[in-house]
Amino acid sequence: MILIQAPFLNLQAILDGLMIGAIFALVAYGMALAWGVMNIINIAQGEFVILGGYITFMVYKLGFSPFFGAPLSFAFLFILGFLLYKLIVHRVVDRDMFISILATFGISIMIRQIMNLIFGSQVETALTGLGTIFLFDHNITIALVKFSSFVIAVAGALGVIYFMKTSKLGRAIRATAQNPRAARILGVDTEKVYAYTYAINAAICGLAGSLVVMTYTIHPYMGLPYTVRSFMIVIVAGLGNIPGVLASGLGLGALEELSAYAFGTEYRIGLVFLFLVIILVYRSKKLAKRREYLK
């Protein structure tokens, strides 16, 4: 089988996978944040990523290096996330989770279609002009842009984690995640916390998107796979398990690359969704042995 016969190709796939996995992990961390603090599953997660990509793409189109787009994407999505919270999301936070799923689904459709109208439906990428390094006698190629996006993604994740641990807002967010009622009683403005959490999540996605457009491609309809990937990562790792989320993100990236390599790239997206189902069913069956179910 192909996987066994070509060790370098496998290694290549794994390396590429880890590098893109860092981006997945970043997006998953954002989703875990929104989910853990506000108990909403943000279906628009992927659309935030793609939108972030388009912002950076526009920067690139204006003649600048896409790397300057990263902070811009971050800031733009932060503001957008904040606005969306104040306009729509705050109305669904306390309700049935399906309501929040549907509401964010509606938001995702709107963003997706607006992007389609503004940017068109062709696939885009932003060139960074970074080269490639070759290892093992040209058997392994590492695109420097992929490597740098890996570094930025990891740095971004660590940055947000550090912010969460040390800043006043970060601690307020963590307190609210553990017990919103208690936090409220102790004087934490939960509405503010929720708004900033959603905004930070959007910003993280924006940053991830800028990395995606640099290293791969974007397209208005490519959002949902990112949403699904982050959902998968969160349920595999568990909501509060940050190192787990990061590790699972990397793992998923590697798994995806290997599968795309083994089965063919046209199956890639389908496989992502299939993995989701497999993970869910596997987890459920394991819990069912203890006569429990996924809550």
Partner 1 sequence: MTNILEVNNVSKFFGGVRANEEISLNIKKGSIVSLIGPNGSGKTTLFNSIVGTHPIDSGSIKFEEKELSKMLVHEIPPLGLLRTFQQTKIYGQMSCMMNMKISKKVSNSYKRMFDKLPKELDDEAEQILSFVGLYEKRHLRAGELSFGQQKLLELAMALMNEPKMLMLDEPTAGINPTLINGIIDRLIKINDKYKITLFVIEHNMRVVMNLAQHVFCMAHGKMLADGKPEEIKNNKLVIDAYLGAS
Partner 2 sequence: MISDKKELIGFLILLFFGIFAPIIAPSYRVQFSELWIFMVFASTWNVQGGKMGYNTFGNIIFFGLGMYVCASTQIAFAFNLSDWTAAGGYKTFVHSIPDYFISLPIGLLFAGIVSTAVALVLGSFMLILRGHYFAIGTLGLGIAAGEFATTVDIWGGGMGMTVPVWPKIDGQDLELFFGVGMDFFFYLTFILFLFTFFTLKWLYSTRFGLILTAIRDNEDKAEAMGIPTMRYKVTGWLFSAFFMGLAGGLFGNINGYIEPTEVAFNGATFGVYMVLMTILGGKGTLWGPIIGAILFQLFKEFFWTYFLGWQLVALGFLIVIIVVFFPEGIMGWLRERRPEWFGEIIDKKARLAQVKININD
Q: Which of 292, 293, 294, 295 binds partner 1 (CB under 8 A)?
A: 292
Binding track over 192-231 against partner 2, x by CB under 8 A: --------------------------------x---x--x
State the amino acid at position 279 in one-letter form.
I
193: tokens are: 């916390």
52: tokens are: 């972030």
Whole-number Å distance between alpha carbons of 80 and 113: 16
Nearer to partner 1, 3 or 294 (CB): 294
- Output Rg (C-alpha) for the chain, integer angstroms: 19
Q: Is the dihedral of CA 94, 95, 101, 104 positive or negative?
A: negative
CB within 8 Å of 63: residues ≥ 6 apart: none
Q: How far is CA 199 from the centre of its chain?
A: 14
Partner from partner 2, partner 1, none contacting 290, C-beta within 5 to 8 A by type: partner 1
245: tokens are: 């989320």
Burial 124-135 (b: 16+ CB within 10 A, else e): bbbebebeeeee
Binding track over 35-74 against partner 2, x by CB under 8 A: ------x---------------------------------
Q: Which of 9, 75, 83, 110 binds partner 2 (CB under 8 A)?
A: 110
Q: Which of 8, 98, 134, 163 binds partner 2 (CB under 8 A)?
A: 98
182: tokens are: 């208690």
Q: Which parts of this chain interact with partner 2 (CB under 8 A)?
A: 41, 88, 91-92, 95, 97-99, 101-103, 105-114, 116-117, 224, 228, 231, 235, 266-267, 269-270, 273-274, 276-277, 280-281, 284-285, 288, 293-295
Q: Which parts of this chain interact with partner 1 (CB under 8 A)?
A: 289-292
